Structure 1
Amino acid sequence: MSATSMDGLLRLRQHDLDSLNLVHLISGIDEDLVDQAATPCGASTTLCGYTEWVSTQEPSVTLGWDWQLETRPTSSRVVRLGLPRTNVLVVSGERNPLPWEESLEVLASFIDNFDWNAPAFDAVCKRYSS
């Protein structure tokens, strides 16, 4: 892995992502998007939120992203919305930084390939159940 640079970004090669051990920090619901008074009774609503994950090793990696509850007749799950927020800039094997949007796309693919959905949604359910 790499150290944080003067610009505050942690530069990681794409294959270094595989060795990241991320743990759940916090998840919540975007309450400002929910206007219950404006939603007619019986109307379909959308539940959206956010989740933040951090690495267990140094230097600290942070990854956050938005999610949406996707409901189907037989199941429900949360899915990532948009690109992540992070302190990571992915670099090539030669350590050349990828363009920012391309780096975020690589990180989005990384997110989609690890089991974050259930821990994030479970945390939301526990947080708002009281």
Structure 2
Amino acid sequence: MSSPIVLKTGAVLTGSLGLCEDGYIRLDFNALQHTELIHLVSGLDDDPSGGLKCGTGVAAISGFTEWISTARPVVSIGWDWVIGSRDGRAYYMMVGKPRSNIMLIDDQCRDLGFEATADLLMARLDRLIWQEATNAAITSRYA
């Protein structure tokens, strides 16, 4: 049983199939591009010395962030990050591929698969200004 993805404005995303029995929300990349994402939670890893490498050194601070849609059913995308340094300034950098309840589909409603979906999710997240919200959440939660 599937239901359409409805934005908070009441608009229904075209090309979406909604929540499926396997727990995935299937939608095409165009619908993903138009899905508004908001910050849900961010946190620090319990053991940042677990060997996560950033560049040539071990990252001193690492964590996770989770973002959700304002549409129903709720799309959830989470990923890991590290704090790196460039030109003497700290910045948040995504590590690995995102995790999500999304399965992207092609124009014939066939699953693109896990790898292609993760790669396209990364392309969508490149447009998301997540570092500031993540930093604010981390500062608020741990400072």
- Bucket of the pairwise TM-score, normalised by the shorter protein: 0.7 to 0.9
Q: Which runs of 4+ in 1 moved over 3 A?
A: none
d(CA) in 2 for partners of 1:119, 1:31? 20
Q: 1:2 Cα shift?
A: 2.5
d(CA) in 1 for partners of 2:94, 2:58? 20
Q: Secondary structure at the match of 1:16?
A: helix
Could you list the per-position Cα deviations for residues 23-69 of structure 1 after superposition, in whole angstroms to 9, with x for gaps in the alignment? 1010011122248xxxxxxx975211000011111111000000111
Q: 1:70 Cα shift?
A: 1.3
Larger RCO, structures 1/2 (Cα 8 Å, 6+ apart): 1
What are the ranges of 5 or more consecutive residues in structure 2 without an aligned counterpart? 1-15, 51-56
Cα separation, partners in 2 of 1:106 and 1:120, compared to 1, 3 Å: same
Q: Output the TM-score relative to the length of structure 1.
A: 0.86
Q: 1:106 Cα shift?
A: 0.7
How many residue pairs get aligned? The number is: 122
Residue equivalent to 2:66: 52
Cα separation, partners in 2 of 1:45 and 1:90, compared to 1, 3 Å: closer
Identity %: 30
d(CA) in 2 for partners of 1:21, 1:44? 34
Residue equivalent to 2:24: 9
Q: Output the TM-score relative to the length of structure 2.
A: 0.79
* Corresponding letter in the other structure for 2:17: S
Matches within 5 A, 1:33-112: 33-34=48-49, 45-112=59-126
Higher helix share: 1
Q: Secondary structure at the match of 1:108?
A: helix
d(CA) in 2 for partners of 1:91, 1:3? 11
Q: Secondary structure at the match of 2:21?
A: coil
Q: Secondary structure at the match of 2:80?
A: strand
Question: RMSD over aligned Cα, in angstroms?
Answer: 1.8
Cα separation, partners in 2 of 1:15 and 1:45, compared to 1, 3 Å: closer
Q: Secondary structure at the match of 1:105?
A: helix
